[in-house]
Amino acid sequence: MSRPATRCNAQPTAEDGTQPPSGHTGLHHFAIVYPDREALGNAVRSLLEHDYPIDSAEDHAGTVSVYLHDPDGNGIEMYYDRPREIWFEETGLLRLQRESFDPRDLLSSEA
């Protein structure tokens, strides 16, 4: 039996019980994972070369993310994972942060 490569589990209503507006999925965003910094940087370069608007970029410690919207208003997160060995504090807790940065920083080879 084959399985889908992507599965979307969506709630039919918002937290307050209302339906999403007509023409909206009710989905905050979907994510695309890139294999490494260079690949994400190449995607960002292409967006910038085509003057496509980027909403923000954030360093989450274990991941580095770039956020934008498609022409229909759907949110998109493009990200890569840093090596798992740096995901955790010495105490074993997951390192979490939300530090904004300029997405053009991904165009350089420095990590």
CATH fold of 29-107:
2,3-Dihydroxybiphenyl 1,2-Dioxygenase; domain 1 (3.10.180)
Looking at residue 24, its pLDDT comes to: 66
pLDDT attached to residue 2: 53
In the chain, what are the domain boundaries? 29-107
Say which amino acid occupies 107.
L
Distance CA 41, CA 77 (A): 14
Which pLDDT value is given to residue 12?
55
Low-confidence ranges of the chain (pLDDT < 70): 1-17, 20-26, 110-111
* 8 A C-beta contact, residue 44 and residue 64: no
Burial class (CB in 10 A: 0-12, 13-18, 19+), 18: exposed
What angle (nearest 5°) sits at the alpha carbon of residue 95, between those of residues 15 and 84?
A: 110
* C-alpha to C-alpha distance for 40 and 32, rounded to whole angstroms: 10
pLDDT at 18 (0 to 100): 72
The tokens 């770039």 sit on which residue?
A: 66
